[in-house]
Structure 1
Amino acid sequence: MAGDPLKANLWTDADVYISTNLSATLPADANTPFGVDWDLVGLLDGDEGFPESRDEDTDDKYAWGGLLVRTSRNHFKLTKSFTALEDNETTYSLLWPGSSATQIVVPRPAKVMVAFETREGDKVRRLITANYAEVTLDGDHGENETDLESMTFSATIFPTGAGVLFNRQATPILASLTVAPATLTVADGAIGALTATATYDDASTADVTGTASWVSSDPATATVSAGFVTGVAAGSATVTATYLGQSDTSDVTVTA
């Protein structure tokens, strides 16, 4: 079976953030925390996840003889859901918008910014509404003695005038690893240096020499630690660096 397992996602943690400030400052990138404009929804039901629904009216146009020639599309609507497990100020404001701590009024959804964040190890992906959303209770809400109190919310995502639904932030994915130089000659008892450079899917690079795992095919000829190769005896060996599933090698020659 062909493919890249590193591109298969199994999200092990997630959060939802809400901001009532439609001009809220967005984090600079996926590694930057959300600022004071954003409130955390809290514990989420991971089994329910973030279901997404797309609705659109389509109308097929046929030529004489039954040949399909066009399809018109309009009235696109995107909703994204999440199930909250905490009864806090943020979830209360979504469940009963416009209500106070002492009075509950007929809910009228407010316009809010919503950010969906999923995480797996160091990998982060965020979808942040480009315009705004209206969040409403999806289904029933109640309390009992056997199940956690939960609230499933459906966020209707309103696009910008240009049709943009979300701003997307994600940590770059490692695409390849390069060890340099590809060939290295060191004298017996001398030390040479190799570097390991990671290249990501956004074309950015990083020196990962210190964090990569290094191994020599023949420690009796050459040893390696953190990219530094020490000649032990005349001969040849292959030094391999591995980082997050990607590997590359350098051919090492040790001279007497």
Structure 2
Amino acid sequence: MAGDPSNASLWTDADVYIGPLSAVNPANANTPFGSDWGLVGLLDGDDGMPESRDEDTDDKFAWGGILVRTSRAHFKLTKSFSVLEDNPTTRSLIWPGSSETEIVVPVPVPVKVGFEVRDSGTGKIKRLITRLHAIVEVDGDVDENETDLTKVTLVATIYPDSDKVLFDRQGTPVLASIAVSPSTKSVVVGDIADLTATATYDDSSTQDVTSIATWTSSVPAKATVSAGFVKGIAAGSSTVTAAYSGMSATCAVTVTSS
């Protein structure tokens, strides 16, 4: 079977964040949303976050019925999500303009929306944050009964900015390689030397993973290793390996008597 299973994701958890137009985006996918964002809370996972694209197209034909061009206009993108909580954030979307004591005719206002999904198996995070704003409205009926959780389906119409950008996208960087430094090391019997394991990701960022990597020695009788610290046991040589998230790198260790 062709393909890379690591590129497939099963989104096991999700959140939707709502913010004012002044809300500041998190720096990256590993940074939490700030206090200026509100969380809608529990979502219906079976409903997911379906995306709908609508666009007017007009096919242009030449004599003989040959399709030569298609014009496109009036592109519209919507994303839906179903909320299960009644909290200040969801009420501001379901009944915009209302208060704790009064329900008024809803008039939706522009908001920023952050959609986040997470894969617990791989630790992946994917975020879509509206570049300009969205208008969020109730989609369908609201049913309250004794057998089902109250659920309100909301649909967000996404408005692009002047450059036609709909979302800022953030994602967890993917591990590209791991390296151990130095790549060779000499240690005296009884002494301890330290090694460093560094992970490099596909966005060129790096992370010191020395303390969380799995370290092994090919010849523990000559050298042992733990958390990057190598101890000389007896004169000879050993290959020390650091493994992290499916990748590994080595250091050639030489142990001397003096």
Q: Give, in angstroms, the shift of residue 180 of structure 1.
A: 2.1
- In structure 2, the residue matched to 1:42 is 41
- In structure 1, the residue matched to 2:159 is 158
* Aligned residues: CA RMSD: 2.3
- Asked if residue 235 in structure 1 is aligned to residue 236 in structure 2, the reply is yes
Q: Aligned partner of 1:222: which letter?
A: A
* Structure-1 separation of matches of 2:26 and 2:129: 10
Q: Secondary structure at the match of 1:111?
A: coil
Q: Secondary structure at the match of 2:58?
A: strand
Cα deviation digits, residues 123-172 of structure 1 (max 9, x gap): 43321111111111122211111111111111010101110111223332
- In structure 2, the residue matched to 1:144 is 145
- Asked if residue 85 in structure 1 is aligned to residue 84 in structure 2, the reply is yes
- In structure 2, the residue matched to 1:176 is 177
Q: Secondary structure at the match of 2:106?
A: coil
| CA gap 1:194/1:3 in 2 versus in 1, 3 angstroms | farther
- TM-score under structure 1 normalisation? 0.88
How many residue pairs match? The answer is 255
- In structure 2, the residue matched to 1:107 is 106
Runs of 5+ in structure 2 lacking a partner? none
**% same residue:** 67
* Structure-1 separation of matches of 2:134 and 2:203: 29
Q: Secondary structure at the match of 2:89?
A: helix
Q: Give, in angstroms, the shift of residue 9 of structure 1.
A: 2.3
Q: Secondary structure at the match of 1:128?
A: strand
* Structure-2 separation of matches of 1:184 and 1:9: 40
Q: Aligned partner of 1:211: which letter?
A: I
- In structure 2, the residue matched to 1:247 is 248
* Structure-1 separation of matches of 2:174 and 2:85: 33
| CA gap 1:160/1:236 in 2 versus in 1, 3 angstroms | same
Q: Give, in angstroms, the shift of residue 70 of structure 1.
A: 2.7
* Structure-1 separation of matches of 2:3 and 2:247: 14
| CA gap 1:65/1:255 in 2 versus in 1, 3 angstroms | farther
| CA gap 1:187/1:62 in 2 versus in 1, 3 angstroms | farther
| CA gap 1:227/1:138 in 2 versus in 1, 3 angstroms | same
Q: Give, in angstroms, the shift of residue 241 of structure 1.
A: 0.6
Q: Give, in angstroms, the shift of residue 67 of structure 1.
A: 4.2
Q: Give, in angstroms, the shift of residue 3 of structure 1.
A: 4.7
- TM-score under structure 2 normalisation? 0.88
